[in-house]
A and B are shown apart, each in its own frame.
Chain A
Amino acid sequence: MAEIARLLLAGSPILVVLILMIKFQWGGARAGAAGWFVAMIVAFLAFGASAEMLVYAQTKGALLTIYVLYIVWAALLLYFVTEEAGAIESIGNGIQRLTQNKELQLLIVGWVFSSFLQGVAGFGVPIAVVAPLLLGLGFSPLVAVAAPAIGHSWAVTFGNMATSYEALLAVTGLPGTMMTHGSGVLLAIACLLCGWAVLMIYGGWASVRRAFVPLLVIGITMGVTQYSLAAVEVWTVAGFSAGIAGLLISIPVARVYGKRSAASDDTPDFAPLENGMTLGWALAAYGLFIAVISIAIFSVPVDALLNSVRFTLPFPELTTAQGRIVPPADGKSISLFGHPGAHLFYTALLSLLIYQAKGFYRSGVVSRIAARTAKSGVPTSLGMISMVCFAVVMDHSGMTSVLARDIGAAFAAIYPAVAVAIGSLGAFMTGSTTNSNVVFGVFQKEAAEISGFTVAGILSAQTAGASLGSMFAPAKILVGCSTVGLAGKEGAVLSTTLKWGAILVALTGAYALLLEPWL
C-alpha cells in the first residue's frame, strides 16, 4: 500500500500537468507552474529533498532552460525573418508544385523535411519550422503541429549530430558500436511507424492507402540510410544523411505518385509572390542554414574558435534525508558562439540582410520581426522553465527513479517493452531525448543485467523510446504551438500526440520485446 502511495506521489507532478493541459485545456506555462508546485512539495515532504537541493535544482533547471531557449528564440527569429519576406508562402507553393497530393505534401514536409531538420538542428527546431509551413499549405493548426512532432521523433537519437546517442554512451561508459545495430533496427521500424501515424492523423486509413507506396519507399530509404551509417560507426551524421536521402528520394516519388488526392482542391501556384520572392530565394535561407552548420561543425578551426567561449556552473554533492546522493557535477555547458541557437541566429541575421538587399521586405520589418518573435517566445519560455525545473527536482529527489524502478519491477517479464516506455517517459518529462538517456541510461543498464535481458537490447529500447517520447514532450509542443497561433491552447495538440505517441511506443515496445535476442 505504501509502495503504491509512493509511486502515485512520484508521478503526481506529471499527472497534474497532464490533467490540467488535456482535461482543463490549461496552457503550458500555467500547467507547468502547477506541476512545479506539486513537485516541490512532494520532493520536500515525501522524498526528503533538502532546501539546498531544491535551490540548486532551480539553478540547474534554469541553466538547462537557457540552453534550450537559445535555440527556441533563434528558431523563432529565423522563422519570422523568412515569413516576413514571403519565403514560407513561397516554399508552400513550391511543394504544391512538386505535388498537389495532400498526403504526399504532408509526408514530405511533416515527416521527411522535419526529420532532415532534426538531423541538422533538433531541440524543437523541426516543429517550430515545419508547423507554419504546413499551416501555409492549408492543413489545420492541430495537424500542422502534430505531424512534425510525430514525424521527426524517430530521427532524434541520431539527429543533431547524435548528441542523444553520445549522451547515452557517456553515462553508461559503453562503446558506441554496442548499440548501433539495436537502436538502428528499432528506429528504422519506428521511422515507418511515424510516417504511418502522420498519415493517420490527417485522413485515417484512407490516407494511408492512398500514400502507402511512397510511405514504404521513403521510410525504407531513410531507415536503411540511418542504420547503415550508424553501423559503420559514423553515427554523428546518420540522422542528417537519412534526412538528405529522404528529401532526394521524395522528388522522384512525388513525380510518380503525386497525383491530386480526393481531399485536394487547391490550385498550384507557379508564379513568384508579389514582392518577387521565388522558391529559390525562399530556400536560400535553409541552404544558408546548412552551410552555416557545416562550416561551424566540420571546419575544425571554426569549430574551435566558436566554442572557445563556454559558460557553465559547478554544482556540489547533494543528498536527500533518505540518503539519495546526487554527485557533484557541472551544469549544462553553453557555448556562446558555437551553440545550435547561435547557428540559427547567424542564419537569421544573414537571411535578413540578403532579403533586405533584395527588397523582399515592407518598411518597419525589423521592429515587426522583433515584436512577433517576442510575442511567440515569451509564453513558450515561461512554460519551459517551470517544466524543466520540476523535472530536475523530480530527478534529484529520487521521484523519477521510483517511477522507473516500480514500473520496471511490475513488468519484469516484458522489460524490453517497458524500457521503451521508460525512455519515452523521460523525454516527456524533460522535453529532451538526451536528458532521458542521461537520467535513465545507468538505471536501464542495471535493470537489463538484473532481468537477464541483453544490455545492448535494453539500451537500444531506451533510446528508441526516448526518441519517440519527444513527440509528446510538452516543451516541444509549446514551441510548435507558438508558431501557428496556438499558444495557450496546447492541450488539443498534446492529446493528439499523446494518443499516437502511446500507440507508437506500444508498437515499438512489442517489436523490441520480440527482437531483443537479436538486438
Chain B
Amino acid sequence: MIAKLISQSGLLCLSLVFPGLMYLAARQGQLGLAIVFLALQTLIMGLLIVRK
C-alpha cells in the first residue's frame, strides 16, 4: 500500500535526502537521530524491493 502511494521519483528524492539528514545529525553528535534516518533509508530500500 505504502509502496503504491510513493512514486519512484519520491523514492529517489527520499533516498538522496535521508543520507544528507543522517550526515547532519551524526556531525552534530546526535547518533540516535542519525540511526532513525538510517531506519527510514532502510524502509525506502524495502519499498524498492516490494515494488515491481
Q: Is the CB–CB distance between A382 and B23 below 8 Å?
A: no
With A33-B45, A313-B23 known as contacts, the answer to whether A58 contacts B16 (CB < 8 A) is no
Contact with B along A25-54 (1 / 0, CB 8 A): 000011011101100100000000001101
Output the residue of B18, B19, B51 with the most chain A CB within 10 A: B19
Q: Quick one: which of B12, B18, B19, B31 contacts A378, CB cutoff 8 A?
A: B12
Question: Is A65 at the interface (CB under 8 A from chain B)?
Answer: yes
Residues on B with beta carbons closer than 8 Å to the beta carbon of A40: 42
Question: Is A55 at the interface (CB under 8 A from chain B)?
Answer: yes
Q: Quick one: which of B20, B26, B46, B48 contacts A62, CB cutoff 8 A?
A: B20
Q: With the chains together, A82 CA to B38 CA distance in Å?
A: 40
- Cβ of B27 to closest chain A Cβ, rounded Å: 8
Q: Is the CB–CB distance between B9 and A55 below 8 Å?
A: no
Question: Is A381 at the interface (CB under 8 A from chain B)?
Answer: yes
A315, closest chain B residue (CB): B23
Contact with B along A360-383 (1 / 0, CB 8 A): 000000000000001000110110
Question: Is A56 at the interface (CB under 8 A from chain B)?
Answer: yes
Question: Is A386 at the interface (CB under 8 A from chain B)?
Answer: yes
Q: Is the CB–CB distance between B22 and A58 below 8 Å?
A: yes
Q: Is the CB–CB distance between B34 and A55 below 8 Å?
A: yes
Q: Is the CB–CB distance between A55 and B12 below 8 Å?
A: no
Residues on A with beta carbons closer than 8 Å to the beta carbon of B52: 30
Q: Is the CB–CB distance between A56 and B16 below 8 Å?
A: no
Q: Is the CB–CB distance between A61 and B19 below 8 Å?
A: yes
- Cβ of B14 to closest chain A Cβ, rounded Å: 10
Q: Is the CB–CB distance between B16 and A51 below 8 Å?
A: no
Residues on A with beta carbons closer than 8 Å to the beta carbon of B20: 59, 62
Chain B, range 15-40, C-beta contacts under 8 Å to A: 15-16, 18-20, 22-23, 26, 31, 34-35, 37-38
- Cβ of B20 to closest chain A Cβ, rounded Å: 7
Q: Is the CB–CB distance between B26 and A56 below 8 Å?
A: yes
Q: With the chains together, A187 CA to B51 CA distance in Å?
A: 41
B17, closest chain A residue (CB): A62
Question: Is B2 at the interface (CB under 8 A from chain A)?
Answer: no
Q: Quick one: which of B9, B16, B34, B51 contacts A65, CB cutoff 8 A?
A: B16
Question: Is B49 at the interface (CB under 8 A from chain A)?
Answer: yes
Residues on B with beta carbons closer than 8 Å to the beta carbon of A29: 48
Q: With the chains together, A40 CA to B41 CA distance in Å?
A: 12
Chain A, range 380-437, C-beta contacts under 8 Å to B: 381-382, 385-386, 389
With A62-B16, A65-B16 known as contacts, the answer to whether A382 contacts B38 (CB < 8 A) is no
Q: Is the CB–CB distance between A58 and B12 below 8 Å?
A: no
Residues on A with beta carbons closer than 8 Å to the beta carbon of B42: 37, 40
Residues on B with beta carbons closer than 8 Å to the beta carbon of A378: 8-9, 12
The 10 closest A-B pairs by CB, nearest first: A62-B19, A33-B48, A59-B23, A58-B19, A33-B45, A59-B19, A55-B34, A55-B22, A378-B8, A33-B49
